[in-house]
């Protein structure tokens, strides 16, 4: 029996959106979230795609996502602003906030926009790529559950706290990439669970602090490059949590603790108009020169070309949007079913397990 099925993007979008509407989300919001999740699956970022639908649907159904949020934007300076998300659906609020940030950046040359009280916002690359399509350089950061063991520590404090970055180019899609500040994002562990696969022993530790290959035994994720990742996740937490007057570090709400309550998460955009610093055409031409020079380098053994960050996933996205997106069969069957959610996430620890 096949482990995956190939689904056309339009069908996948429809199935995801319908599931959210059944859970209680408004159609316009459901479509925004479905666009995001299809993007993630098409790029091969399955940890942030349809695998999340069951969890989101349960939180929506149980009231932990405000389906009628009062989203407001306050300009706090010539280049700064705050979006109050009212614990609405994270992807929807984050896109609203991005649009405000883009407008502000085009007006002033630089924009720093914080989003207060949102739910999980998905993959950072989605947002920064949209900004780069407007000829802007973009950085995006957000906080997440305290599930990471600080370098030299024995307990969890910070979240996986991802960073996204994108910039425009002369030819082709913008270069957009993101990364967790851990060796792997929590969603990658969820993806391994959905596929019944083991994980590398460098990703996480068990309850005793020992490396584990069992995704169900994970009790702490590890920072990328030890102290360097530790420093980066602290930076992200300060920018998207403490600086926005929100809970920080170990005080950030757990994704699975109480699905009837809002998560009060923070998210921050930093956008820059390169035309305010140099000639835009020259900037984009220099990007193409860099791309050509990197591509012309002699690849290491086992590689056919030196690629740019996210270049392979962008090519995968273009292929999958044309030919169909591979989805785990059990996830596809859930999406097609009448089941809204499986009632399996609420009142659990950060790793979706009973305490």
**Total count of residues recorded for the chain:** 355
Question: Both tokens of residue 279?
Answer: 């000639």
Active site residue 91: no
**Other CB atoms within 10 A of residue 296 CB:** 9
Residue 270, strand partner residues: 112, 139
Q: Name residues whose C-beta falls within 8 Å of residue 15's C-beta, 6 or more positions apart in sequence.
A: 7, 332, 335, 336
How far apart (Å, rounded) are the C-alpha atoms in residues 278 and 249? 38
For residue 110, give the DSSP letter. E
Q: Which one of 36, 100, 120, 267 is the catalytic residue?
A: 120
Question: Both tokens of residue 30?
Answer: 């459901």
Q: What residue ranges in the chain does DSSP mark as E strands?
A: 4-7, 72-77, 80-88, 110-118, 137-142, 163-167, 175-179, 204-205, 220-221, 265-272, 325-328
How far apart (Å, rounded) are the C-alpha atoms in residues 171 and 8? 27
Residues marked active site are found at 120
């Amino acid at each position: 029996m096949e482990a995956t099925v190939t689904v056309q993007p339009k069908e996948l979008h429809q199935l995801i959106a319908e599931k959210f509407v059944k859970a209680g989300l408004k159609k316009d919001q459901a479509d925004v979230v479905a666009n995001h999740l299809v993007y993630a699956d098409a790029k091969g970022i399955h940890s942030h795609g349809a695998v999340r639908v069951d969890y989101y649907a349960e939180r929506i159904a149980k009231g932990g996502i405000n389906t009628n949020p009062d989203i407001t934007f306050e300009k706090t300076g010539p280049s700064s602003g705050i979006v109050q998300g009212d614990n609405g659906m994270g992807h929807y609020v984050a896109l609203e906030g991005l649009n405000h940030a883009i407008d502000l950046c085009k007006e002033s040359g630089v924009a720093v926009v914080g989003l207060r009280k949102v739910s999980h916002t998905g993959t950072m690359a989605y947002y920064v790529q949209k900004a780069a399509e407007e000829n802007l350089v973009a950085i995006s950061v957000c906080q997440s559950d305290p599930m990471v063991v600080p370098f030299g520590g024995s307990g969890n404090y910070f979240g996986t706290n991802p960073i996204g970055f994108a910039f425009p180019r002369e030819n082709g899609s913008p270069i957009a990439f993101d990364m967790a500040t851990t060796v792997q994002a929590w969603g990658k562990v969820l993806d391994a669970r959905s596929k019944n696969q083991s994980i590398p022993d460098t990703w996480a530790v068990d309850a005793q602090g020992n490396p584990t290959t069992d995704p169900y035994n994970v009790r702490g994720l590890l920072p990328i490059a030890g102290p360097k990742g530790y420093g980066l996740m602290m930076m992200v937490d300060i920018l998207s949590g403490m600086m926005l007057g929100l809970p920080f570090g170990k005080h950030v709400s757990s994704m699975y603790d109480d699905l009837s309550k809002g998560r009060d998460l923070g998210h921050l955009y930093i956008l820059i108009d390169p035309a305010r610093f140099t000639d835009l055409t020259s900037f984009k031409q220099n990007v193409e020169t860099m791309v050509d020079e990197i591509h012309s380098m002699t690849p290491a053994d086992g590689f056919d070309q030196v690629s740019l960050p996210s270049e392979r996933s962008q090519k995968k996205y273009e292929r999958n949007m044309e030919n169909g997106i591979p989805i785990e069969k059990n996830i596809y069957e859930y999406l097609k079913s009448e089941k809204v959610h499986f009632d399996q996430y609420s009142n659990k620890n950060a790793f979706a397990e009973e305490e």
